[in-house]
Amino acid sequence: MLTAQEIATAKAGFRYSQPADVFHEHDDCIRLAYEWLDAQKTIATSNGKFRPLKHIIEKWAGRYVSQSDVEVAAAMHPRIRGKYPDFNLSARLVLPSDKRLEGIGEALTQDYRDRLILDVYSTREDDLEG
């Protein structure tokens, strides 16, 4: 799990795509975005396909996540390259396991999970593990 110090360091040195609109409600939002990104398969370069990633992540995490949170989480992740929303993610998205939400206090604290759309995912992480 990302520590508060790791997150603070990443935020302090980060060059946001929209500096005037930087917003971080809680460090857990970065942790949630990181966990979602961590479950994804990556490819060599960005796929050029626009996806509303922050909204997809929010619906899985059950909580508001800002674009700034996703940008910082991606920058912290060793496999993720590119600029929001054009990361080196496979077009075939993986629905992360709910186990990834454990220990993140802000997970599932808002009604975003009620709007989860499974059609955006090609597979489930739980299926890949078993």
Q: pLDDT tens digit string along 2-58?
A: 999 999 999 998 998 888 888 999 999 999 999 999 999 999 988 777 789 999 999
Percent of the chain with pLDDT strictly greater than 70 = 99
Q: Look at residue 16 and tell me if it is in a domain.
A: no
More confident residue, 129 or 83: 83
pLDDT tier at 75, thresholds 50, 70, 90? very high
Q: Report the C-alpha gap between 53 and 58 in whole angstroms.
A: 8
Mean pLDDT of 55-78: 97
Q: What is the pTM of this model?
A: 0.95
- Looking at the domain assignment, is residue 15 inside a domain? no
3-state helix, strand, coil in the chain (%, to 5): 45, 10, 45
Compute the mean pLDDT over every residue in the chain, rounded to the nearest whole number.
Answer: 94
What is the model's pLDDT at position 73?
98
Q: Which domain holds residue 117?
A: 4-9+24-129
Collect all residues with Cβ–Cβ distance below 8 Å to 107 and sequence separation of at least 6. Answer: 28, 32, 61, 62, 63, 101
Residue 45 resides in a domain: yes
Residue 130 has pLDDT above 70, yes or no: no
- Residue 45 is predicted with a pLDDT of 87
Query: Which residues face 82 on adjacent strands?
Result: 87
**Whole-angstrom Cα distance, residue 97 to residue 112?**
17
**Residue at 50 is within a domain:** yes
- Please tell me the predicted confidence (pLDDT) of residue 34: 98
In-domain check, residue 97: yes
Q: Is 94 left (phi over 0), alpha (psi -120 to 50) or beta?
A: beta
Looking at residue 19, its pLDDT comes to 85
**How many structural domains are present in the chain?**
1
